Amino acid sequence: MPRVVFLLVPQVHLLDLAGPAQVFSTAADLGYDYRLHHVAERSPVPSVQGVPLVADADWPELTPDDLVVVPGWRVAGYGPAGCPDPVGPADLRRLADHHAAGGVVASVCAGAYALGRAGLLDGRRCTTHHEVQDELARRHPAARVVRDVLYVVDDRVVTSAGIASGIDLALHLIATRHGPAVAARIARALVVPTRRNGHERQESAMLRHRDHLSDAAHRAQDVIDARFPERLPLAELAAAGGVAERTLTRLFRQATGLTPLGYQNLLRTERAEHLIGHGATVEAAARAVGFADARMLRRLRARGVRR
């Protein structure tokens, strides 16, 4: 059962903590066995928003499957005197040791300062809130600070821009571990878009075509989202939506601008692009997402998937 350990410091921002915590808590509600822990040097921990937070002084025993997250804290100014480092040496060692043991370490907003002091940003791509990016680059010249992105992943070090982007970071980690359909299901429960980063589209097709009120289309999309590599007969999708086949096609197009098959092919192509971007061949990516071979994938990529 993987743990998600949040390291809390004085003047922590509630949303930096609550956003990722809600994602993993919702994953646990869906049957994915995450246990959330909150640790701090001293408890209660004062938050910027005035709510004191209770945390444990002792860290749990960690394994490489566990995740450590450092939420951001209030930065009074953006010069050297305005960016205090509230994470102590013992906790910095824990961050470095967890990563060295094969674990994932993540930060939200100013939490990137802690990762930098732990030596985890040197030679790696990273990001933070746009208002403190210059200071992060000044303090850690060996880090490769990436601007204007939601989050960055580099060798099990995950940094995010802060505030609401902590949700995007957590959804990415869920998608990496359990697949994009699980991340989309959690995003829908949280009423937020599923986003990604870097050269990929920042908004997933799964949520890009979910901003409608058609229950029948939503139910059909639930089936497609969970099983998009499979052959899904229209009759099965119509049964899931509780309507006739012709009615589903009409409602689906009205709601999404696509046919059910067009939507399925969009998901397949988007997932294939992700796999190709992470080193898979076009042929391997095509088969992984349900195409018989790469020819259909190449055609869809060449002309766009809408139909």
Q: Just list the catalytic residues.
A: 109
* Residue 189 falls in which region: left (phi positive, over 0), alpha (psi -120 to 50) or beta: alpha
- The CB-side HSE value for 33 (13 A sphere, CA atoms) comes to 3
Give the DSSP letter string of the chain: --EEEEE--TTB-HHHHHHHHHHHHHHHHTT---EEEEE-SSSSBPBTTS--B--BSSPPPP-TT-EEEE--B--S-SSGGG------HHHHHHHHHHHHTT-EEEEETTHHHHHHHTT-STTSEE---TTTHHHHHHH-TTSEEPPS-SEEEETTEEEE-STTHHHHHHHHHHHHHH-HHHHHHHHHHHT------TTS-SS-HHHHT--S--HHHHHHHHHHHHHTTS---HHHHHHHHTS-HHHHHHHHHHHHSS-HHHHHHHHHHHHHHHHHHTT--HHHHHHHTT-SSHHHHHHHHHH-S--
Residue with tokens 């821009």: 161
